[in-house]
Amino acid sequence: MKVIQHSVETLQTALISNRQDLVTLYNKYTKNERHLLEEGFHSGQPGSLFQPITVHSDSDWIPAHPEEPQDFESFYRDLYRKTPDASLHTIYIQTIGSFGEVGSQTDQYVEWLRDYCQVFFYGLSVKLLPAVTVAETRCSFRINSNSHNIQIRTRDLLRFLEERKPKDAFCIVGLTMIDLYPKDSWNFVFGEASLSMGMGVFSFARYDDNFYSRSYAGRLQKQLQPKQGDYSVFDDYYTPPISSTLLLRSCKTMTHEIGHMFGIQHCQWLNCVMQGSNHLEESDRRPLDFCPVCLRKIQVAIGFKIAERYQALLQWMEENQSQTSCQSVPLFPKPTETFHTSKLWLRRCLDILQST
């Protein structure tokens, strides 16, 4: 295992910049906000809010995909970064395929994701588009020769999202519980995005702990390639139970990928939700939120108050009981057991931001 430890001077430059106009912009943060952001300079020390990145093997993202680190200045001067404005201010979520029956736990899960996205990108509107079936997308599909699970083609889905994208959309993301592949030569992909078009599609199928098991309920018994155009194969397609782990992984992936829509590249500064990941174990090591450098990027892009965002995130995690139905019957409680570490972390952040 290798720990990537940057010097204080390197992290200062990455966060604040040496450009006087960006230093002036940074100094507009309150004393408490600067205190929080500068906690990153003490990464790796006992009790630090932020930790250095650890590389566990050559299969991890950083050694496998060498990239130029993006500091705040690079992000700020990037001509291609996207900033929400009065006309493009809504994140749209489009579910594709079955997410369970109305009133089921998986149906609620989509609402939980929408609500989480709303507080994570605090200040933007997040809306759910009416659900669509796989047949409506007219996408290609196949049975994976290794897993024998059915897969749908991402590039067809992106084409569909482009046609469906509302005029006021900052971005549109497609979510599905069906496994994905980008082209015939690939085994699978967790998701694919067109950042220039503000679109992405992501599958949470492999976040089910049983996905790789021979007893996985979504595994098709027939190993024959289904006939293209016969979308009946998706009728009553299996949707996994919504565990706390699946919800955590889904929130993490969704916000990571939408973060890219703002022009935020993979983080190489500190442990951060924007780190790249090559496999599930590496993704699970990522925290749920931004490091100080990436937090400054998203804060400048949206313009929220940092304390208000953290408070909204904490409230989402602590609201374990969802809204009740119109018959006043409680629905499924939100499974947030795996968010416990994040709740403690948010409270520590708020202690700094709200100190006198």
Which active-site residues does the annotation give?
257
How far from 282 is each of 48, 51, 208, 314, CA to CA, in Å?
21, 15, 16, 24
Q: How many angstroms separate the CA atoms of 272 and 81, rounded?
A: 20
Instruction: Convert 48-59 to b/e letters by CB count within 10 Å (16 or more is b).
Output: ebbbbbebeeee
Q: How many angstroms separate the CA atoms of 249 and 282, rounded?
A: 11
* Strand, coil or helix: 227: coil
Tell me, what amino acid is at 297?
K
Q: What is the DSSP letter of 334?
A: P
Biggest CA pair distance of the chain: 67
CA dihedral angle for residue 246, residue 323, residue 346, residue 16, rounded to 10 degrees: 90
Strands 141-143 and 125-128: unpaired
